[in-house]
Amino acid sequence: MAYRWKNTLRDKDVTDEAAFLNRRQLMAGAAAGMGLAGVGGMPARAQDLEPTSYEDITTYNNYYEFGTGKGDPVKNAHTLTTQPWMVKIDGLVDRPGDYAFEDIMARMTVEERIYRFRCVEAWSMVVPWNGFELADLLEMAGVQSGAKYVAFETALRPDEMPGVKYPVLDWPYVEGLRLDEATHPLTLMATGIYGKEIPNQNGAPLRLVVPWKYGFKSIKSIVRITLTETEPPTSWNKANAREYGFYSNVNPDVDHPRWSQASERVIGSGLFARRQDTLMFNGYDEEVASLYDGMDLKANF
């Protein structure tokens, strides 16, 4: 069960962190009492997850367009202009075009989704996102029968993004999903965190969230979405195919070539806190494992 509300949130309506957590506890208790499947897009078994603090979520980031240090994005991303914002949707769609962010939001239903977030670097968070299902946006554009993949592209603005001066990656940042992954109900286009507008350093104004995949798949500040028949290139796979596959599903049984993926460090749990075991598909195996029936997950990492 997803908790939904219409897109009429204003600054005065924003829920602070303490109130959000209290309301979440009440919702989870009510859902348990009624035997509901889940709250806010979460599987029932994940309802006891404690969201990471807003401060930690918004200050510990990877967004290399603003620098490679974890604290660089929050220091530098204020330079990103997010209004106006256009998203080009093209390729194998019935209604290609340049869509204004405001027009997209007027047609979408915003939801609250509390998801695990697992970085390929073996750290994790629990993030209360606000956003809408990517499937709804693709339906709006009209996916044609020949489409098999969805490609994404991040904004490239050298005057606003100091990190792109350095060849860390082949800019602009690009990512991709198989169409069935993109249209899965868990796949979110996030526009907020804790009921507030998503900060620049977290991918404003529109980013992808695919909770069963490593975080670099959840591309930030999207300016283009293209439906294709063939598998699209992805930035980290282009940079180092041996270490970063197209699928990049969270898998504790498949290590990164330079470190184990069997456990993770939880951000906000303290410097000396015990690492926790990493879950297959980041804990969403019951929902998404069927997408990969018959696949060799070690070969298709």
Tell me which H or E stretch contains 288.
helix 285-288
Do the annotations mark residue 70 as ligand-binding? no
Do the annotations mark residue 202 as ligand-binding? yes
Do the annotations mark residue 109 as ligand-binding? no
Do the annotations mark residue 220 as ligand-binding? yes
Q: Measured between alpha carbons, how far is 198 from 74 in angstroms, rounded to an integer?
A: 12
Do the annotations mark residue 238 as ligand-binding? no
Do the annotations mark residue 181 as ligand-binding? no
Do the annotations mark residue 219 as ligand-binding? yes
Do the annotations mark residue 95 as ligand-binding? no
One-character DSSP codes across 230-284: SPPP-HHHHH-TTT--SS-B--TTS-BTTB--SEEEETTS-TTPPPEEPPGGGGT
Q: Measured between alpha carbons, how far is 244 from 256 in angstroms, rounded to an integer?
A: 8
Do the annotations mark residue 50 as ligand-binding? no
Q: Measured between alpha carbons, how far is 153 from 235 in angstroms, rounded to an integer?
A: 10
Do the annotations mark residue 237 as ligand-binding? no
Q: Give the list of residues 6+ apart from residue 111 with CB closer than 8 angstroms, or none.
A: 2, 3, 4, 5, 40, 41, 130, 131, 132, 133, 188
Amino acid at the residue 109: T
Strands (E), the chain: 3-5, 86-91, 97-100, 110-118, 123-133, 149-154, 174-178, 188-193, 196-197, 207-209, 222-228, 263-266, 276-277
Q: What secondary structure letter does DSSP report for 113? A: E
* Residues flagged as binding site: 61, 64-65, 119, 154, 202, 207, 218-220
* Residues flagged as binding site for Mo-molybdopterin: 61, 64-65, 119, 154, 202, 207, 218-220
